[in-house]
Amino acid sequence: MSYALRSYEYWLIVYRRIFKGTIASSILNPLLYLTAMGVGLGKVVNHGAHPLGVPYLEFVAPGLLAAVGMQVATIESAFPVRGAVLWSKSYYAMLASPLRIADMLFGHLLYVATRAASVTAVYLLIITFFGVVHSALALLAIPIGVLLGLSLAGWVSALSISAENDPFNPLFRFVIMPMFLFSGTFFPITRLPHGLRELAYATPLWNAVDFVRGCTLGTLTLSRALAHVAYFVVVIAGGVYVAHRAYRKKLIK
C-alpha cells in the first residue's frame, strides 16, 4: 500500500501544476447549469403547482452534484491514463521503480477518489447556499460522489489504456452525455419509455442521483441506501478487475 501512495503522490503533484485549468469544468460549468436550469427554467417548471412535488431547483441541484462527480472522474480516468502510456511515458518510469501494476492502478484510483470527493464537497457547499439542502444526510453526498467516481474510473481507465485509437469522442458522446441527460438529473426517469427507463436504472449516475436527492430532501430510506451502495461495490469491483488486466496486458510485454 505504501508504494500505491507513491503513485498517488505523483498524481497530486501533477494536479497541483494544472489545477487552475480544471476550475471551469469542475465548478464553473455545473454552477452555470444550476443557475440556468434550476433558477431560470425552474420558473417555468414551477409555474402554478410543483409538478415534481418539490421546486425544480431542489430537484435538479442534487442531480447536478452527482453529475459533476461523474464528469470529473471520467476526465481524470481518460486523458491522464492515456497520456501516462503514450505521451509522458510516466507509467513506464513507474515500472522501472519498485512499483507494481497494482500500485500504479490503486494510486491513480485513490487520486480519482480525492478529486471526486473535493469537487463534490465544493458543489455541496454551493447548493447549500442556494437553500436546497434540507437534511444533514446531505453530507453523505461526498462519499457517494467517491463511489460514483470509482465506479466509472476502473472501466474508463481500462478503455483509455487499451484502446488502439482515440476512444474519447465515442465515450463522451455515446456514454457520458446520454447518462448526463437521461439518468434523472433533469427529469424523473419514469417519464422515459420502457427499455430506456430500465437502462437508466442500471447506470451509475442514476444510482448516485437518487441517493443524493434522497439525502438533500431527507427522504432517503435505509433499504434504498443499502441497495445503491451494494450496486456501487459490485460495479467498482468489476472495474478494478478489468482495469488491472488491461494495465498488465498493455504495460507488461
Q: List CB contacts of 74: < 8 A, sequence separation 6 or more.
A: 152, 156, 171, 172, 176
pLDDT tens, 143-165?
A: 999 999 999 999 999 999 999 88
Domain ranges of the chain: 2-41+52-251
Q: Are 145 and 211 in contact (CB under 8 A)?
A: no
Q: List CB contacts of 62: < 8 A, sequence separation 6 or more.
A: 127, 132, 141, 209, 212, 213, 215, 216, 217
What mean pLDDT is predicted for residues 43-62?
A: 74
Query: Would you state the cell numbers that stand for residue 186, as one nine-digit string?
Result: 433533469
75: left (phi over 0), alpha (psi -120 to 50) or beta: alpha
Alpha-carbon Rg for the chain, nearest whole angstrom, is: 19
Find the distance separating the first CA and the last CA of the chain, reported in whole Å. 24
Nearest CA among 159, 188, 162 for reference residue 174: 159
Query: Would you state the cell numbers that stand for residue 43, as one nine-digit string?
Result: 420558473
pLDDT tens, 97-113?
A: 999 999 999 999 999 99
Q: Where are the beta strands (DSSP E) in the chain?
A: none
Nearest CA among 215, 225, 232 for reference residue 127: 215
Whole-number pLDDT of residue 131: 87
pLDDT at 138 over 80: yes
- Within 10 angstroms of residue 174's Cβ, the number of other Cβ atoms is 10
pLDDT tens, 17-31?
A: 888 777 766 677 777
Whole-number pLDDT of residue 2: 77
pLDDT tens, 207-252?
A: 999 999 999 999 999 999 999 999 999 999 999 999 999 999 999 8
Q: Are 251 and 85 in contact (CB under 8 A)?
A: yes
Name which of 46-50, 93-97, 232-236 the model is least confident about: 46-50
What mean pLDDT is predicted for residues 55-79?
A: 92
User: Ranked by mean pLDDT, which of 64-73, 78-87, 150-159 comes out on top?
Assistant: 150-159
pLDDT band at 38 (very low <50, low <70, confident <90, very high): low
Q: How far is CA 245 from CA 69, 205, 213, 240, in A?
A: 25, 25, 35, 9
pLDDT at 62 over 60: yes
CA dihedral 183, 189, 193, 199 (to 10 degrees): 40
pLDDT tens, 171-194?
A: 999 999 999 999 999 889 988 999
* Helix H or strand E encompassing 243: helix 222-251
Report the Cα 61 to chain-centroid distance in Å.
15
